[in-house]
Structure formats: structure tokens, C-alpha cells
Structure 1
Amino acid sequence: MSRSLRAELLAWLLLPLAAVVAFNGWSLHRDAMRTADLITDRTLLASARVIAEQVKEADGRVEALIPPSALEMFASPERDKVIYRVLSPSGELIAGFPDVVAPPAQPRGLEPAYYEGTFRTEAMRAVALAQPVISKVDGGNALVIVATTLHGRDRLVDEIWQTSLRDQLLLVGIAALLTLFGLHRGLAPLLRLRDELRSRDPESLKALDRNRVQGELRPVIDALNHALDRVQAYIALQRRFVADASHQLRTPLAVLKTQVAMARRDDDSQTRHEALAAIDGRIDSMARLVNQLLTLARAEPGGAALRKDVLDFNEVTRTALESLAGIAFDRAIDLSFEAATAALPVRGHVTLLRELVLNLVENALRHIPQGSAVAVKLEQGEAGLLLVVEDNGPGIPEADRERVFQRFHRLAAATVEGTGLGLAIVREIVTAHDGTIALMETQPPPGLRVEVRLPAAPGEMPAA
């Protein structure tokens, strides 16, 4: 089920507003009730005072004349019942209905007392008012009670509340329309961006213009542009890998085909044996080239994600050197290894780190004269670990020390066949592990000293 950003934004804007309207509706109803009660109480008090003014003593008796104006105050379309009760200071009923509910407490002084009750099953609101009577026979305060049913009050509450609620709902409706318009205008840059992405060439990886959207969306555009850059770099890497592989494999394949043709034409068994030996050697060279190309593709930025673990670089180096012992023995080269006194934890890819040591040491073994020496040393440095590979061969001229890291670059004076990928692979592996590599002349010269610095992994080595 697809989600709509416009609908979610509208919901987050209108739902709180609806909650506010609901609270306002409750508050308006309460205020309307207070207003209607106030109007009803004022009318009751005015009616009670008109009646109280007519409570007098005549011929030794307290009487109350009920003027019509006292009851006409309650005239309304609902025709509410108006009831009253007047008691003399002695408590004798002198006017009105005897079953009108008395107030729960007598009025204090001349202050009116308001209360609610029931008159013959109908709810009512009433006021009780004390009226002083001057009399030699029955002096004191007469009690005047005026009550009315609540149909008119309820109608007034509904009118006030419904009018206010209607205004509130109208305001919410207008706010919703304005919000929709605002959302449409606010989302317009994002919709234009969507249309641009839909209509652009599928092969286009051009960066998106971050200035065409609001500031809050620019991080999203930056992330998209970063992803496009990574895709572009990955595509460029793949194209370069294919170009390098085809370039380097074309010549050996042509030579291999020529050797096969020669072996097929020649009937001499010795010649065929030599051709097959040459073919076998060529296949070994091609296998090594393919492996180096794959290693280079894996180590390059943008290649497959590297799984890095905490490793002991002492052990990685020792394993790599053991596999090169045969080459050193065949060429009568003294290969020595000075390991660190303690474990050297490093966070890295075990295969690539082993390939790093293999390429450095194998380059030295293959490019120095027979009977020479190669020394490998590991030590803990201030900023990490240090790998040193030193030989007493002819070395590399200073002008060529940077160019030898370029892929397929070989020194003009080189006498050993190679792919020119060894040091290019080494630099990519070092870069992938956030390290540095430097080539320098040995002391005393001639000779080559290679220093590789890698950041040490914090913490202890994991248990074997």
C-alpha cells in the first residue's frame, strides 16, 4: 500500500487542529451554559424582586400582590412554566404553589440564593430572596421563590454553542483548503524533481540541482548525488577493469594461439614437447595476471565491500613469507623475517593483507640478482604498525618511484617478465586500509626500502 506524503502532512496538520476544535467545542458548550445560566438567573432575580416589592402588611396581615410583569419576563417560544411561592416571616404560604421546592439553605441577608430542583417531574432553576417586612404582628423576612423550567435555557445554550461550533468548523474547513494549497505549492519543487527523474535518460548519471528544492530537502539531494557519484565510479571501475583485462589478455592469447598452431604443424615430438611447455608457462602467466586483476578490482575504491576483521599482522606476514620460501631457495636469496615482539592487531581483510605482503616480497625476490638478500621487518610504531621490506638489489631510480605505482608500468631496465600490477595492487590495498606506503633508497645504497604504515586496531586480539 503506497503512502502519500501530502496526505500524511495534511493529517499531521489537521488532526491537532481537529483536537483543538474538539476541546474548543467542549469549552464553548461550557461557556454557553454559563451564559445561559447567567441570563436565566438575572431574569429570575428581576422577577423575584418585582414580587418582593409587593410583599406588604395590610390590615394586620402580610400579603403579596403578584404583578403580571413579574411573570411576563419569561415569555419565550418554548413557553416555560413559571412558578413562584411567597412565605410570610412566620412561614405561612401567602401566594403561589405550595409544592415549589424550597432552597437547600436560607438566603443570607439580602443576597439571593440560586439552586436547581424538580417541579412535578420537570427540571427547574430557582432563586430564593429574603424580603424584610415591617409589622407589629408578623415582622421579619418574607421568603420569595421564583422558578422556571429549563426549555428556554437549553435552547439558548444550543443556539450559542451551535453558532460558535459552526464558526469553528468553518474555520477548520478554510484552514484545510489553505493547507492543501500550501502543501501543493510547497511540494511543487519535489514533484518537479520527481518528473525530472522520470523523464531523464536511464543512462544519465548527471547530478541533481540542489538549489531547486527547499533547504530541508537539500540533504536528500546531496545523498542522491553521492549515490549517483558512487554508481558512476563503480561503472567507471568496471569499464576500466574490462579494458585492462582485454588489453593485457589480448597479446598472451595471440601468442598462445600461435604456439598451438606451431605445435599442430610440427610432427617432431621434441618440438611439440617444447611448444606444450611454452603453452603451459604462458597459461601460468595468464592465470597470475587474471588473479592480479581480480585482486586489484577488489582493492580499488568502489569495488566489492571489504569485510574487515581484527587480525594479527605478525601471523599474516609469516604465512605469506612461508609461501615464498621456494622462490627464495631457487634463486639462492637470503629471505629473513624479524617479527614484532608482541601481536600486531590490525583491522583488515585477511586475503588482501596477505596479498600486500606477497606482492612486495615477490617483487623483491624476482627483481634482484641471485645471491642477494631480502629482509622483512615488523614493528609497532607510534601511530600504528610498520612493515619494512628491504633488499640489496639495484633499487628504483627516484624519478620512477611514483610511476611504478601506476598499473602496467614497468621499468625500462627490467629484465624479468612481469605484469606491472604488483605495486599498483599494493597501493590500492594500503589505501583501502587507510595506510601509507613509501619507497626510498637503502643506507648504504644501492637497494630499495619499502615502508608500509597501517593503523593499529584498538583493543585486544580476539581469541583464536
Structure 2
Amino acid sequence: MKTFRADPDTFGIRARLLTLLLPGILGLLILDSWNDYRALRTLVQDAYDQSMLESVNALRNSLALAQDGSFQLNAPSFMAPTAADASSPQHKHLYVGLTPHQTAGGSTAVQQTLLGEADLPAPPEPAAPAAAAGSASQVWYDSRYQGQPVRVVAIQSQVVDGRGQAFDLLIQAAESSGQRDMAQATSSEHALLRDARMVLVVVLLVWLGVNWSLRPLERLRKSVLQSKGQDLKPLDTIDVPHEVAPLVDAINQYVANYRDLLDQQSRFLADASHQLRTPLAIMLTQAGFALREKDPEQQRATLRAIVAQISRSRRLCEQLLSLAHASDHSPPVDAPELTDLNAVAKDVVLQYLTLAHEKDQDLGWIDARDGSPSCSELSTAPVVPVLARGPELHEALANLVHNAIVYTPSGGHITVMVSTRDGMALAEVRDDGPGIAKAQRAAVFERFHHTGSSPGKGTHGAGLGLAIARAYARRNGGDIALADADLAADTAGTALGTTGLRAILRLPLASGQQS
């Protein structure tokens, strides 16, 4: 028996599910973490920028006119730089300066510092002065100051003092980016740790979910491995996922079919052993009698009886082989071909003419073409074409004719005829023997079933002929039915009576043929 083993390089269901689920989940988590990182970076940047902007606006609002008409800055004390602030790497640098507004072609203006460091980095592209007093323009940029990276905001506007002099006002706030980078790094680290925990939890849940989903299959596997070969029971479908239930049902159906096949084989072997045991016992007894017999004539008579018994045993073996072949449910190697049922039936009649004559029986043949045998020789085209295997049809009809010869009394009549009706090809074997009661006709197709005794010879045959004939008929898409002969006379006008049996082989006509 050929054993199929799983390829170790082939992914199982668990590996396939994990391969499909985990990369997708990890990809989504990485994308989500990247989006969170960008959102957090923007949030931290906006928070620190808002704090710087508030400082700048506060300084701008602190600018006022003195009694002499000049500008003075009333900045809150907490905005004044201190020594401690200057040494701190997170020091916020401020600057407020005034420059007289110059028209085109004017001389270079002198900048006046009101607060902070005048050497703060200038805007890369200075904002254009406001068109009217009171309005302001704002610009953000990154630069370096005192060797440190800084974030700078600058507001430019035009103001007029009490004497009507116009000035360009520049307010700057610069802050080291170290503090915001540290805050962003800390938040990102916490977010990464949170996402890593989430990934581990998701991977664990996926792994547990896949294992839990496949647990019923594992139970099925153990159930199959623990079951004995002779105990072919259906697999238990309790707790089996509904997606797998059709597969389990198919396996159960296969097991049931296999169990039926084993039962049929067991019955066949038992019946065959029983049928062969009797003739072997008879031949053993006859051989022993022949050894003890002194009279040569009696020895020859005993040997003739042994030869007859061997002949019957040989036919029984041939019938057993035919039945095994006919009952084989595997697809046949040879395909059906166009076969002339009329010609097959004629060959069977010619084959059994000698046996019928030995029993003084009239074995007749009625051709499918208007009862004229010579008509079949006028053309090579099939008379009654069917798609079937010729040897199997021959075997089926041979068994029907042989049964008719066996059970028809000496001097009886047997007629074989082929016809078409309603798209079916019919091959009938009629005899005027004892017939079979209607109540027993279904049972006679069972193996080793005896209908009774042949006239004057007791029980004859093994009861396999009709079983073989039906099995071959069904393998070729047909069937066999039994009916009363009801034949009053043959074509020669000889009375046949109303007793007897009619065995009918039915097959579909080949496509395109008319009945």
C-alpha cells in the first residue's frame, strides 16, 4: 500500500495563517507608530512655538511711548535675562530693536536695542515691513546661536513715536531646541514601548487564536491515529469548525464506502470459500474411493465423476473471477466503444448451439432486422449500436443463455432476439422452462442464490450467472430485468406455451440512432 506523507517543506495551516496575519498586523502597527511619531512631533513643536509666540506678543504689547515721545519697553521682570539663564543650555534669548524707517536712497539707519541680544540670527529672508502702522509680519526659522541649534521667531512691524518718526520694530525670541528634542525623544520612547507591548500582545493573541482554532483538527488527527484498522467508525464532528465540517463529512462518507467495500469482499471470500469447499470435499472422497477400488471399470467411472466435478469447479472459479471483475467499482482502463449488440448476441447463440443440442434443446436466433438473419450480412454498419465494451456484453448475454439452457428441460425452446424500443437496445433471452416466481426475481440477482433445481439433475450451478450478467450490464450503463415469457409461438409456428422466463438486457442506444 502506498503511503502518503506530508512534505516537511510544505507550510501547514498554522504556518500559513501566521505568515498571512503577522506581517500585516506588524505593518499596520509600524505605520500607526510612524503616524503617532509625526503627530507627537508636531504637537511638541506647536506647544513650544506657542510659548515663544506668547513671549514675543507680550514684548510687543509692552512697547509704549514715554513722556518725551520716544519708545520705552515695559517688559515683565521674568523676561529679563539673568546670569543663571545665560549659563543654562535651555535659555530663551529675546531681542527688541528699533530701526528708523528709511525710504529709498536714504542713509544707513542706526539700530536701537531696547532689550536682549542684538546678535540673534536674522531671518533668512527678512519679512517685508508692514504697509501700515500697527500691522505685523511673522516668520519662523531654525538657526544656530552661540554654537547651539535654536528655534527663532521674528515679528516685524512699523511703529510711529510721539514726534511722528516712523521706526521698523523687530522682536525676536530664540530658544534652544535641546529641550523640545528631549521632550520629543522621551515621548517617542514611551510610544515605542507601548507599541512594542501591543505587538507582543497581538502576536500572542494571534498565536493562541490559531492554535485554539486548529485544536479540533488535532483531536481529529489523534482520533484517526488511535483508531484500529478494523474499527472503521465515522469521525466525531463535535466542536469541528463549520468550515472544516464538509471535509469531515467527505471523509466519513469515504470511510463508509470503504467499510461497505470491505464487507462485500469479506462476504465474497466467505461465500467463495464455502462454494469451493464442497466440490473439493467431494473430489477428495471420490479420489479415496478410486484408490481403494480394485475394479478398473469402477475406477474409470469414479475418475469420470472427478473430471466432471473438476469441470464444475473450474466454471465456478471462472465465474468468481468474472464476478470480481464485474463488481470492480474502479474506473475501467478501456473506454466504451461503438458495439453492435445484434452481432454480440448472434455470437453468443453460435457459441452455445452445441451445448443446447446436447440437451436436445431448440436454441433459436431472431435477427434485429425484421427477423431475417441474412439482412445483417448485407452491411458492415452496426445494426443495434450501443456504447459499451463488447467482451463484457458477451459475458453478460452468455450467462443469460447458459442459465436458460441449464433450467430449460430437454426438448425445450430457447429464443434469443435483439430489438430497439424508445431509444433503448433490448437483447432478450426467452425460454419455456419452469420460470421464476415474481416474489423471487429480485433475490436471484444476489450472489450464490439458487432458484431451485434444473430438470432431472438437482441443484445446478453456483448461483452466480445472473449476478455476473447484471454487474456487467450496469458497468456499461444498462440493466437486466426478468419477466414472464408469454410467448405463444416462435417464428416457425412452434407452440411455446405461456410458461418460462424472459431475461431482458437493456442498454441505451448510441447517440444519433433511432429506435
TM-score (norm 1): 0.79
* Cα deviation code 1:140-171 (max 9, x no counterpart): 65343434343323222222233233223323
1:399 & 1:320 partners in 2: Cα distance? 29
Local SS of the residue matching 1:203: coil
The alpha carbon displacement at 1:198 in A equals 4.2
Residue of structure 2 in register with 1:17 after alignment: 25
1:87 & 1:153 partners in 2: Cα distance? 30
Structure 1 window deviating more from structure 2 (401-410 vs 309-318): it is 309-318
Equivalent pairs, count: 453
* Cα deviation code 1:231-267 (max 9, x no counterpart): 3212212211110111110111122223433444557
Residue of structure 2 in register with 1:246 after alignment: 273
Q: How does 1:179-194 map to 2 (within 5 A)?
A: 179=206, 182=209, 186-194=213-221
2:394 & 2:127 partners in 1: Cα distance? 101
Residue of structure 2 in register with 1:79 after alignment: 89
Residue of structure 1 in register with 2:450 after alignment: 410
1:387 & 1:133 partners in 2: Cα distance? 121
Residue 39 of structure 1 is aligned with which of 47, 51, 70? Answer: 47
Structure 1 window deviating more from structure 2 (229-238 vs 161-170): it is 161-170
Change (3 A) 1:446 1:373: same
The alpha carbon displacement at 1:443 in A equals 3.8
- Structure 1, unmatched stretches of 5+, are none
Change (3 A) 1:70 1:241: farther
Q: How does 1:152-231 map to 2 (within 5 A)?
A: 152-179=179-206, 182=209, 186-231=213-258
Residue of structure 2 in register with 1:113 after alignment: 139
Residue of structure 1 in register with 2:350 after alignment: 325
* Cα deviation code 1:31-70 (max 9, x no counterpart): 1121122113212312322343455677788787887745
Is residue 391 from structure 1 mapped to residue 430 from structure 2 by the alignment? yes
Local SS of the residue matching 2:365: strand
TM-score (norm 2): 0.72
Structure 1 letter corresponding to 2:288 = A
Change (3 A) 1:156 1:87: farther
Change (3 A) 1:152 1:17: same
2:393 & 2:142 partners in 1: Cα distance? 93
* Cα deviation code 1:416-464 (max 9, x no counterpart): 632211112233344555644321123433343333444678799xxxx
Is residue 257 from structure 1 mapped to residue 299 from structure 2 by the alignment? no
Q: CA RMSD in A?
A: 4.2
Structure 1 window deviating more from structure 2 (423-432 vs 77-86): it is 77-86
The alpha carbon displacement at 1:29 in A equals 0.9
1:235 & 1:286 partners in 2: Cα distance? 25
2:111 & 2:398 partners in 1: Cα distance? 122
Report percent identity of matched pairs. 27
Structure with bigger helix share is 1
Residue of structure 2 in register with 1:150 after alignment: 177
1:237 & 1:126 partners in 2: Cα distance? 96
Structure 1 window deviating more from structure 2 (204-213 vs 304-313): it is 304-313
Structure 1 window deviating more from structure 2 (157-166 vs 271-280): it is 271-280
Change (3 A) 1:180 1:60: same
2:366 & 2:80 partners in 1: Cα distance? 123
Structure 2 letter corresponding to 1:396 = I
1:76 & 1:361 partners in 2: Cα distance? 125
Change (3 A) 1:54 1:322: same
Change (3 A) 1:413 1:115: same
1:236 & 1:227 partners in 2: Cα distance? 14
2:367 & 2:151 partners in 1: Cα distance? 107
The alpha carbon displacement at 1:282 in A equals 3.1
Residue of structure 1 in register with 2:466 after alignment: 423
Change (3 A) 1:175 1:266: same
The alpha carbon displacement at 1:409 in A equals 2.0
* Cα deviation code 1:91-123 (max 9, x no counterpart): 865452264342476488535333445668865
Does the 8 Å CA contact 1:408/1:419 hold for their aligned counterparts?
yes
Larger Rg: 2
The alpha carbon displacement at 1:273 in A equals 5.5
1:213 & 1:443 partners in 2: Cα distance? 60
Does the 8 Å CA contact 2:364/2:415 hold for their aligned counterparts?
yes
1:164 & 1:357 partners in 2: Cα distance? 87
Is residue 372 from structure 1 mapped to residue 413 from structure 2 by the alignment? yes
Does the 8 Å CA contact 1:84/1:97 hold for their aligned counterparts?
no
Residue 48 of structure 1 is aligned with which of 34, 52, 56? Answer: 56
Change (3 A) 1:103 1:121: farther
Change (3 A) 1:304 1:392: closer
2:345 & 2:129 partners in 1: Cα distance? 108
1:19 & 1:353 partners in 2: Cα distance? 68
